[in-house]
Structure 1
Amino acid sequence: MIQIALLLFGAHFVRRHAYLLGIMGFLWLLAGLIIFVDAFDGVRYFPLTLFGVLLLIESVITLSVASSGIGAQKAVLYFKGGGFFLIALLILANATISNMLLAIILGMAYFVMGLLQMASAWVVRFPGWRAAFGFGLAKIAFALFMFGPYPSHYSATISVFIGVTLMMGGLVTLNVFLRARQLKEGTSVFDLFVPSDVLPKIRKSQLARPVSDNAPVQVQTEPLTVHVWTPEGSSKGAPVPRPVINRYIAAVDINGVISTGHAALEMLPDTYISLYPGTDIDRSPSEFFRILKATRENDVPGQFQPDYNTESQAWCPSNWQVRFNAYNPDGLLRFWQEYRQHEVYNLTYRNCSSSVTYALEAALDGALHDRASGSWQEVLRIMVMPELWIAAQIRKRATTMAWTPGLTLDYARALRAIVHPVSTPWFARLLRVSKASKISVSR
């Protein structure tokens, strides 16, 4: 989440305030360690009841604004709000059975996340999959620790969970701080955080367009458009009903043909990023799991489509479009100049969706520079936006599995909600919902 926020704030903001990341990461790590130790010393000082009340309020706010979400954002917000609401009630109950239920719920959440992360790392074999597999194994070990009653008989469940979560968050923030310190003149935030294996191995000094963070991002005359063909929307035959799989992975039609959808990015007048495999890929069910591996033997020659009109006329129009009016055209052109020199396609590692996602991040580098430089109140408002949390969760899932058109669509929608927020903020929408409820009750 912090990484996405820093990308949107831009290089100038990061260089000026990088030290705050170090302070914040250290405080999170220290607070997590204190809470974790406090859970087992026999006397608990952590204000558990106050935490439960705050979590209950947060869950009510999330559930109140969930109906305004777009697409999958609505389901994610309802799931988050409902889960937090249940956990808050169990915390406030503070009984032996409720503490045991909390241990089971939180342990199962970590167990499932760890199992999925290990499975995706083993199947996809993306760069760095061994580290991801190890982190998944650590999550399962922590889940098993949560299941066991020793040594606190479940009374320390929440304190342990919060302590470990804060310590992990502190370590992540300190890692971001160490990387942010490397941000020098002529380097963008996107260059700092983009995976090293995404772009060809050429020197940044060879780029014709240097970075300038003194020029804030302005509203452009032509919108930047993310085009998405979902697997269901691009299926030639009638797809077999599989709601989640069809939305985010692939659709199988009645003839057994697999469709994975497509994504492209367009910046007028002449920039169009749409990566296709240059040769046909066998997508039959018997070969599908083999080609999911992001290994070099599954690399095939790639080709970039010339423009949207040519592509849509040869195939079909995109069934979703997400438009941005404030973006960084120079950042996008720098990325595109480098990225297109490497015409290689890989179904999970370097596909149409990952190409569009990284191009979109390059285009949004510094998109909130003016807002972040205006006041700390605006920075805090951006940091607590639900869409930022949603974008971070989508990105985390995609980078440990694979970017798909469905994930790219949801990610683009979440980023657009941050860059182009609705005129009515979430707290105003909450007040409107509460007033409407009062009126309906009085009637």
Structure 2
Amino acid sequence: MARDRRRILRGGTSLLVAAALPAGSASAKSASPRRAAVGPMSSVNVTDLGAVGDGSTDDTQAFETAYALAATHVRGGVGRLVVEIPAGDFLITRPHALLNGVTPSRPANGLRFVGAGKNMTALVFRPDTGPGSYLCRNEDTWSNLSFERMQFRSDTPGASFFSSYSTGLAQDYRFSECEWLGEWEYGLALDGTNTNSEMLWQACTVAGSYRKAFLYSGITGHAQTTPNDQDQFLNYWFTDMKVEYEWGNFLEFPYGGSISCRGGSYIITGKRPVRTEEYGTTSTFFRFPVSRHHDSVQRFHAQDIRFEVRSPDVRVIDCVWSSGTVHFADCDDTANAFMDFSAEVRPHQYSVGPRGPLIRYDSCQLVGRHQYRTTHRQDTQPAVVRYDMCLLRNHPQSEFAVTDGAGANPARFVRFTDCLGTGPAGDTPAPPPSTDPAVPPGRTSPTD
């Protein structure tokens, strides 16, 4: 009975597929010899379109057909189809097979891809060549995209997951309980002008490795010297993440952004296999490599995150913003503070000038030292850095913040409030003398 039901479903779906695809296309010919008017559908399962999911059968056509159906089922600018992907390993060999956002011809709002679980549903991307091949693309077509409970695996080194180009329409992406594995060039590569924003990752796993970055904003013209329209890349939220990948950058934002990361574990487990001119051998969680931006897109917040600094080649943050705010709250990067190299690592690096950025650490436990590059005259540099109730694991306050350049003095722009350092004498101040006349000199209370 189940087999007959599946046959009936496939037969009904094939009529819709034939109507959705262009006449004469290979997919249309294979779907059905008949054509019919597109009927109402709420979901389509890729196995009803011929996908096998055994890891060796090429399921590309089934996914291309599923997307063609989704592009056809748009009513009043709203998508009406959910693409379901059951448990299995689904091999995809052509770029853009999962999402080919150049159709429909008019913008559409709402498309969901739903799997059975990130360790159950796996999409294995194996194009002929890696660089320049994307599993998904969205060129100003879709907003409100959702990917749920599935794994994406690059089986061709240097392939990329998602290319998103926007002049104001591509935005509102949601990734829930998803996982990335394999060697990628980009996870998500954002380009264009205006928006490409409002993106959420929730309870996802970022593994594998990245030649550039998992999320990279501003592919073209990244050598900007003045703010431009691409500075409207903003509003990215990461919650309860497991970021544990081998090498590369997690977030790289040449065009600024408003970014919040809350909760989770962040670990870089290895080292870049080849030194590059741009990155050397370092891998960085948060890299902001361009100084000048519109003020509203220079905001970064990290909270309740456990970092591991496993080697001197790992950086938590490298930021050269000339303004904006950077805030770490209740974060800890001291898991490997016992290692021989830990005292001299510099996992947090900044450039600071007369307008900041304003940098603050609240209730954090911090390993090694923090590095500051000054872009302004030392004697007129305002205070822009503050550590409040932090534990400095390897050094006293006087040795924790270091600067480049002869005669540079971080005490001019770095402030410590109620912090505990580590050193021969420690950094804990002596209690203030009592002002109570009943207390004898040298004591702090009448009962001492």
Report which structure shows greater RCO (CA 8 Å, sep ≥6): 1
The structure in which a higher percent of residues are helix is 1
The higher radius of gyration belongs to: 2
TM-score, normalising length from structure 1? 0.19
